[in-house]
Structure 1
């Protein structure tokens, strides 16, 4: 296999894996905590939305930025 193909395939699989992990956190977390405490509030946001939507969004924003800055390349591997 060509080195560029391997690199881009690895980057694409990592992106899809992160997307699936974030999506499962959002869907599973929303399902698990939606009826737990409807009156609970964290920083003015309903607790279920904070822990199942906002938190994974922020976590995966940091993870994606770290991955992009540390591992993604735009040059030709030799």
Structure 2
């Protein structure tokens, strides 16, 4: 039995999956961190153990009246920059990566073609 780590199709697919997962994980970390720091004033409910790991949150506290509505979309600025923009960028990156960067493996394409090609000389 061949080792899957030697198969180029396996190595390519593992690398491509890792790139997509890292991109989405980075987007997740940005969203959670940005929304935590720039969202509404909710830092009084943070447990003491978590507060010890973070800088003082007093400078990040925001009253709902201080929030702006950029671009007239009717959503707070922290939701636009913390949720909408990064996830739209991540979807765009994923689409570019899948449609422009990834390519079919030549070995897999050759195997698929051999199964469907009919030699007219053999049919006679």
TM-score range, shorter chain: 0.7 to 0.9
2:68 equivalent to 1:40: yes
Following TM superposition, the consecutive aligned residue runs of length 4 or more in structure 1 with deviations greater than 6 angstroms are none
Bigger relative contact order, structure 1 or 2, given CA contacts below 8 A and separation 6+? Answer: 1
**Aligned pair partner of 1:10 in 10, 15, 19:** 15
Larger Rg computed on CA atoms: 2
For residues 44 and 10 of structure 1, the distance between their equivalents in structure 2, rounded to whole angstroms, comes to 40
Residue 77 of structure 1 and its aligned partner are, at CA, apart by 4.6
**TM-score, normalization by structure 2:** 0.56
For residues 103 and 13 of structure 2, the distance between their equivalents in structure 1, rounded to whole angstroms, comes to 9
Aligned residues: 78
**TM-score, normalization by structure 1:** 0.85
Q: What RMSD over aligned residues (CA atoms) do the two structures have, in Å?
A: 1.9
The structure with the greater share of residues assigned to strand is: 1
Show structure 1 runs of 5+ residues with no match.
Answer: none
Show structure 2 runs of 5+ residues with no match.
Answer: 1-5, 41-61, 109-124
2:88 equivalent to 1:52: no
Aligned to 1:45, the other structure's residue is in SS state coil
